[in-house]
Each structure stands twice: as C-alpha cells, then as structure tokens.
Amino acid sequence: GAFEAALRRDADGRANWHFGPRDQASATLPQFARLTVRNGRVALDDALLQLTLDAQARTLEGTAVTPGTANGKGASASVDAAAGTGAAAAAAPPTGLVVTAQGRYRGQPLKAELRAGGLLALATSRPEAPAVPMRADIQIADTRLRLEGKGRDLLHLHAFNGSYALEGRSLAAVGDTLQVTLPTTAAFST
C-alpha cells in the first residue's frame, strides 16, 4: 500500500543504497508479476550530484480504469502488465505510473513529473517486454525539457522512441545544468 525511502550519498560516494560490490556493472532489481503502490515517497539527498529531491509515486500496475460509472471513480478490470491484454485493455490504457518530484539540482529549483503506462516494462531488461507510453516534464530553473514517446528498460537506457521539446532563457543555462560550456543565446525552443 505504501513505501518510503530516504536515500543518501555523501561527497565521497558512500551511499545507503549500495548492497553489493560498488563496482557492480548494473543494478539487479527484484522481479514482480504485479506491482501496486498507492502512496510512495522517496527523499533523495545526493551530495555527489548536488541533488535533493522529494518524490511521490503511485502505480496501479496491471489495472485499467474505465471511466463513466455512476460513482465517477470508474470500474477496474485486470490487465496483464507484460502483454497489455485483458478485458479492459481496449477500453482504456493502464493507469500505470505517476511520479511527481520537487527539489534542487546544483542549487537551482527542480520540478518533475513522469507519467507512464506502467512501471514493470520501464524497469525490466527482458527484450520481449512491451514499450509503454510515457511522458516526462522536467524543469530546472528556467529550462524545461518535455519528453513523450514509448520506452522500456530505461534503467539501462536500452529503448526509448519519442520526441522532445527543450526551451529556456539561454543555451548557457542548459550548459550550466549539464556542466558543459554552451554559448549565451536569446531565449530558445527546440
């Protein structure tokens, strides 16, 4: 029903989320057939990245909501999270994953929202897992990045296909955020 995590990493790289060898090539996540979280919260304080974040998450993995019932809450029908099939699959997409976050990145205010058709396909490395629709909106100071498309296995950045929009007051501000030198420009949108 709920989870809460307080993740911390100091400037030396010591983190309270390392459970195996620190040189491990990739994280191994538990395998789930179904995952439902009604109220999740993650507080992150990462001195190495200069990132503090307070995120709330909920997922109704494997459940689709059909609008239009008398109580206004919709009716639920089971959906196979891996295949996207089931009685309600054609009626409405799975509610999936919703994450909202606020904090600071390198001293600048940060706000983010992620919505996806599901969490399991985004976290699995199985090549047969379906890509799920997703949308992300991230704003750091005056720079905003919006992504929309389909993806799977995002922990390893293996599959994302979509479009993006990036806008801000100057390319130099984007460079400051990424710690690369970019030219000072007028306000831009791409």
User: Three-state SS string across 66-122, please?
Assistant: ECCCCCCCCEEEECECCCCECCCCCCCCEEEEEEEEEEEECCEEEEEEEEECCCHHH
Q: What is the CA radius of gyration of the chain?
A: 19
CA angle 155, 123, 10 (to 5 degrees): 45
The answer to whether residues 155 and 27 touch, using CB atoms and an 8 Å cutoff, is yes
**What does pLDDT average to in each consecutive run of 10 residues of the chain (190 residues)?**
92 83 59 78 95 91 41 34 37 68 95 87 74 92 92 75 92 85 92
Q: Residue 188, SS3?
A: strand
**Model pTM?**
0.71
